[in-house]
Amino acid sequence: MNYPVAVSGFDSFLRQVRHIKPLSPEREYELTVNYKETGDRDAAHELVISHLPIVVKVAFQYRHYLLPVQDLVQEGSIGLMKALKRFDPYKGYRLVSFAIWWIKAYVRNFIIRSWSLVKLGTTQAQRKLFYRMGEIGEHADT
């Protein structure tokens, strides 16, 4: 007998993201120029949707910090949108090359803000130590 399995909205989202096809370089350039010059929201929407698989991949790389992956994806998406606003398509590189830094920055910032009730240090050396602790914990599991 088959019992129905409850599927969360996030599981459904992940299934849909797996089927998103990347944009061709030409289409991406066309959309980024259109967004940069006219502020076309449809172009921005298509660009953000096409880069969601990258956001999900980055979010899953940080799941060992024991925060909800949904929240990490959400923060990464905000980073992607910030990157799109700042992206200059005339410099000759792809949006993903520029956006990956912003996606990771927003995810990392969320981790720092959320990981502890005690305020963590925000100097560069303290952030580096914080991430090294996560890497050590990740390797200890294997």
DSSP string, 65-104: G-S-HHHHHHHHHHHHHHHHHH--GGGSS-HHHHHHHHHH
- The tally of domains found in the chain comes to 1
Retrieve residue 89's tokens: 């398509």
- Digit-coded pLDDT (tens) for 57-99: 999 999 888 889 999 999 999 999 999 999 999 998 999 999 9
Is 57 part of a structural domain of the chain?
yes
Longest dimension (CA), the chain: 59
Query: Does the global pTM surpass 0.85?
Result: no
d(CA 84, CA 96): 9
- Digit-coded pLDDT (tens) for 33-47: 999 999 999 999 999
User: 118 or 15: whose pLDDT is higher?
Assistant: 15
| DSSP-H helix ranges across 2-68 | 9-18, 25-38, 41-50, 52-61
Which CATH number do you get for residue 19?
Answer: 1.20.120.1810
Is 19 part of a structural domain of the chain?
yes
Domain that holds residue 62: 9-116
pLDDT of the residue at 47: 96
